[in-house]
Amino acid sequence: MKTNQKSQKPYALYVIEGEGEKAYWTKIGAAWRHEDGKGFNLQLSCLPLNGRLVVREPKADAEAGR
């Protein structure tokens, strides 16, 4: 279960409360894919009590500046 956290862009970890256009997304941490691609290491800045957890792919460099 090795990860390459320093050379790899992390996935963003969010908790989502609500549905549709009224959903509120709060970034709560990051996730790094294991080298074998079969799992993730998660780093949380808080632990949500409700809502859904979502992991999103890292943004491309061009998108990150928006």
Task: Check pLDDT > 70 for residue 1.
Answer: no
4 lies in some domain: no
Q: What is the pLDDT of residue 7?
A: 59
Number of domains forming the structure of the chain: 1
62 lies in some domain: no
63 lies in some domain: no
In angstroms, what CA-CA distances link 6 with 3, 10, 13, 33, 46? 9, 9, 17, 12, 22
20 lies in some domain: yes
Q: What's the rounded Cα separation, in Å, for the pair 41 and 4?
A: 10
Q: What is the pLDDT of residue 66?
A: 46
Task: Check pLDDT > 60 for residue 47.
Answer: yes
Q: What is the pLDDT of residue 4?
A: 57
Give every strand in the sheet of 24-33, ordered side by side. 40-44, 24-33, 11-17, 52-56
Structural domain that includes position 47: 11-57
16 lies in some domain: yes
Of all helices (H) and strands (E), which one includes residue 13? strand 11-17
54 pLDDT band, cuts 50/70/90, is very high
Q: What is the pLDDT of residue 21?
A: 94
